[in-house]
Amino acid sequence: MAGFNVRSVLVTGASRGIGLGLAKQFLGKSNPPKWVFATCRDPEGAQAQELKTLASRHPNLMIVALEVTDPASIKAAAARVEEHLKGSGLNLLINNAGILRLNTLESETPEDMSLVYATNVTGPLLVSQAFLPLLKKAAQGSPQPGLSCSKAAIVNMSSEGGSITNPFAWQLGQVISYRCSKAALNMLTKCQSLGYGGDGILSIAVHPGWVQTDMGSSASHQVPLTVDMSVRGILNVLPTLSEKDNGAFVDWEGKVLPW
Ligand code: NDP
pLDDT tens digits for 199-248?
999 999 999 999 999 999 987 778 999 999 999 999 999 999 999 999 99
Does the Cβ of 13 fall within 6 Å of ligand 1?
yes
pLDDT at residue 2, as a whole number: 47
166 CA distance to ligand 1 middle (Å): 22
Examine residue 259 and state whether it is found in any structural domain, yes or no. Answer: no
Mean pLDDT of 23-38: 97
Q: What is the band of 65 on the pLDDT scale with cuts at 50, 70, 90?
A: very high
Amino acid identity of residue 8, one-letter, is S
Q: What is the band of 12 on the pLDDT scale with cuts at 50, 70, 90?
A: very high
CA distances for 249 relative to 54, 162, 241, 259, angstroms: 31, 11, 11, 7
Let me know how long the chain is: 259
Examine residue 28 and state whether it is found in any structural domain, yes or no. Answer: yes
Cβ atoms within 10 Å of 211's Cβ, excluding its own: 21
What would the pLDDT profile of 88-136 be if each residue is shown by its tens digit?
999 999 999 999 999 999 999 999 999 999 999 999 999 999 999 999 9
Cβ atoms within 10 Å of 248's Cβ, excluding its own: 19
Mean pLDDT of 252-259: 97
Does the Cβ of 157 fall within 6 Å of ligand 1?
yes
User: Residue 14 CA: which ligand 1 atom is closest?
Assistant: 9
Q: What is the band of 3 on the pLDDT scale with cuts at 50, 70, 90?
A: low
Per-residue exposure over 193-204, b if at least 16 CB sit within 10 Å of its own CB, e if not: beebeeebbbbb
Does the Cβ of 162 fall within 6 Å of ligand 1?
no
Examine residue 256 and state whether it is found in any structural domain, yes or no. Answer: no
Q: How many domains does the chain have?
A: 1
CATH code for position 174: 3.40.50.720
| Catalytic site includes residue 117 | no
Burial of 17 (0-12, 13-18, 19+ CB in 10 A): buried
Domain span at residue 122 reads 8-251
Examine residue 257 and state whether it is found in any structural domain, yes or no. Answer: no
Query: Any idea which of 146-150, 172-176, 220-224 has the lowest mean pLDDT?
Result: 220-224
Examine residue 2 and state whether it is found in any structural domain, yes or no. Answer: no
Examine residue 101 and state whether it is found in any structural domain, yes or no. Answer: yes
Secondary structure of 95-133 in HEC code, one letter for each residue: ECCCCCCCCCCCCCCHHHHHHHHHHHHHHHHHHHHHHHH
Report the C-alpha gap between 127 and 226 in whole angstroms. Answer: 27
13 CA distance to ligand 1 middle (Å): 6
Does the Cβ of 41 fall within 6 Å of ligand 1?
yes
Mean pLDDT of 72-79: 98
Q: What is the band of 4 on the pLDDT scale with cuts at 50, 70, 90?
A: confident
pLDDT at residue 171, as a whole number: 87
| Catalytic site includes residue 34 | no
Catalytic residue among 75, 178, 190, 255: 178
Average pLDDT, the chain: 96
- DSSP one-letter code for 60: T
Mean pLDDT of 176-199: 98
